[in-house]
Chain A
């Protein structure tokens, strides 16, 4: 009898192994296999291939084709959906990627770990197109802008379902963190559905800013104050996730979400397409919020740094950066591209906030490993509501 059970187990193992294989073939970098056909190209010492690892839905695919057409360099384009996943691959090394796009706050730590190679400015002839203000803000994460070039930037803000919020209270402070962080307000929208980002450092930073403290404080008393504030609103939070809120906001499952600008705008567009009467809006709270940057960088062990520089330099062209911004609804760090961006994107305060709002934006700086642990412990207490 036991033999038969073993046979049953064996067939199970085979089935799962097959499923596993299918996944594996689809996911990892197609670096080695795709690289071979181009190996014969004699012009450059590098194969005519560049392996790019970027966020999902974060580029105009036509720009990748244009790059290949012009340079003859084939782009193997792979996507991820969280900084943590990218970081783990980078720290393990040998990713096979030539260009990656981490957020600046993560990149800050990765630079210290020696993950990236310094950029060769002589190969980045379009450097002059970059926005000095963005360069300056990014330099807080990457001193001297030595390792990375901004692709897109955005803010943390409030995505809300206008109709549902106004129906519950027409005076709801949609332009303030109060609507989420004040228990009195949060309680009103509990049944309607509130979501916050599963990003401890950002959410604690926002809570500290709301309390009038330094959002990048690494003081334990400040952290405790932020925790007390967050715990008070925990009973009213339905979802703590960094991507599931997009669909949920779009289809009316949630009416309030702390989210990333581009994602909320994506929810807005999806809601408009669905035509179920959900009108989604994005606001940058008046107390100030996080400004984040997604950066092109080259791993230290990249095999084709010349191609990587060529790729980044191509993306720094004003017309290319403008097309990308138009396609994905994000602000870019390329000041020369600004006049070329379509008016709907350029004049959207959710994408390009006005100067007085911009003045209140603050960075999310990397914490020490010790403080990171305290921060994540606080976050676990928040999520479990203890």
Chain B
């Protein structure tokens, strides 16, 4: 075994790192190439519902037909730009509220008694044991007109008529923040729990009030955690389809819904693929930028 690996030029280290690369190749790169391929095709009524890119035209000639019209189409109709922008807006607002809620929670858990931490973290992860879809459905029961929340508000006399909460943007934000909050808390916690608390003591010794210590020491040191958490919330939220369609106002224009319409209603897999490719570019470019910034920072900290 060992000589074979050596002969292939695989050291122990490269063999280990090959596994994630293989994973990415199989489950990211290959599917991406397939989607990219379809995005250059033309739709037709057939199985599968798009024309092949490569065609033998006889006489040993292979023809490659690339249709760029699908991408041009996304620019022609303002629907797509509006949907992209609105999705980014919704995801940004959701990420902001996740951070606002998630940071104190992660902070409290990280600073709690070490024996309690595991239980608290378990509670954060516990909802994952229930299907995501069921948890979103549960919010319908809470937010609807004769649901838990309205009935409670009526009971304490805060309102006289039920408030329409379901099928509003509010419900979508509640759903997204609720669903993705653990993705914000986990990386933040992992960051905060490793912080050297003597730095805060030093800050106090040098005359920092606790809130100054937080702003000048804890917050800057936790920036990598904030970045990781924000990306983990922002990226899935941009493409979110289920939550807006179950809880939201039907008029809420999200790119996930547009993609669904292209794929399932228009049966236009090529345009749907083009929408997905552009969405991916929207997400990957800023992500690479953040990653680079983070790596640069990490490189500075490490000795």
- Asked if A40 is at the interface (CB within 8 A of a chain B CB), the reply is no
B243 within 8 A of A: no
Q: For B193, give the chain A residue with the smallest CB separation.
A: A4
The answer for the CA separation of A373 and B167 in the assembled complex, in Å, is: 26
Q: Which residue of B lies closest to A88 (CB)?
A: B264
Secondary structure call for the B interface: helix
CB pair A377 B77 closer than 8 Å: yes
From B47, B128, B190, B225, A113 is in contact (CB under 8 Å) with B47
Partner of A1, one of B128, B245, B301: B301
**How far in angstroms is the closest Cβ of chain B from A272?**
17
The reply to whether A373 and B266 form a contact with Cβ atoms under 8 Å apart is: yes
Q: Is A359 an interface residue (CB 8 A)?
A: no
Most A CB contacts (10 A, CB to CB) among B43, B224, B251 go to B251
Contact with B along A82-100 (1 / 0, CB 8 A): 1011011011110000000
Could you tell me if B187 and A9 are in contact, using CB atoms closer than 8 angstroms? yes
Interface presence of B228 (CB below 8 A): yes
Q: Are B250 and A9 in contact (CB under 8 A)?
A: no
Determine if B146 and A252 form an interchain contact, defined as CB atoms under 8 angstroms apart: yes
Contact of B146 among A2, A4, A253, A373 (CB under 8 A): A253
Assess whether B194 is in contact with A84, with CB atoms less than 8 Å apart.
Answer: no
Task: Name the interface residues of A335-375: CB closer than 8 Å to any CB of B.
Answer: 369, 372-373
What is the distance, in angstroms, from A140's C-beta to the closest C-beta of chain B? 18
- For A1-45 the 0/1 string (1 means CB < 8 A from B) is 110110111011001100100110000000000000000000000
A241 at the interface (CB under 8 A from B): yes
How many angstroms between the C-alpha atoms of A286 and B146 in the bound complex?
A: 33
Q: A2-B294, A113-B45, A252-B146 are in contact. Are A8 and B79 (CB under 8 A)?
A: no
Asked if residues A4 and B194 are in contact (CB atoms below 8 Å), the reply is yes
In whole angstroms, how far apart are the Cα atoms of A237 and B144 in the complex?
16
Which residues from chain A contact B128 at a C-beta distance below 8 Å? Answer: 15-16, 19
B 238-293 contacts with A by CB, 8 A: 245-246, 250-253, 258, 261, 263-268
Q: Is A64 an interface residue (CB 8 A)?
A: no
Residues of chain B lying within 8 A (CB to CB) of residue A237 = 250
Q: A372-B266, A376-B266 are in contact. Are A9 and B194 (CB under 8 A)?
A: no
A315 at the interface (CB under 8 A from B): no
| Contacting pair A369 B267 (CB below 8 A) | yes
**Chain B residue at minimum C-beta to C-beta distance from A366:** B45
Q: Is A1 touching B228 in the complex (CB atoms < 8 A)? A: no
Distance between A248 CB and nearest chain B CB, rounded to angstroms = 8
Q: What 0/1 pattern do residues 229 to 242 of A give for CB contact below 8 A with B?
A: 00000100111110
15 contacts between A and B (CB under 8 A): A1-B191, A5-B187, A8-B187, A8-B228, A12-B186, A12-B232, A82-B264, A84-B264, A84-B265, A91-B49, A114-B47, A251-B146, A252-B146, A369-B268, A383-B250
Binding site for B on A (CB under 8 A): 1-2, 4-5, 7-9, 11-12, 15-16, 19, 22-23, 82, 84-85, 87-88, 90-93, 109, 112-115, 198, 200, 234, 237-241, 244, 248, 251-253, 369, 372-373, 376-377, 379-380, 383-385
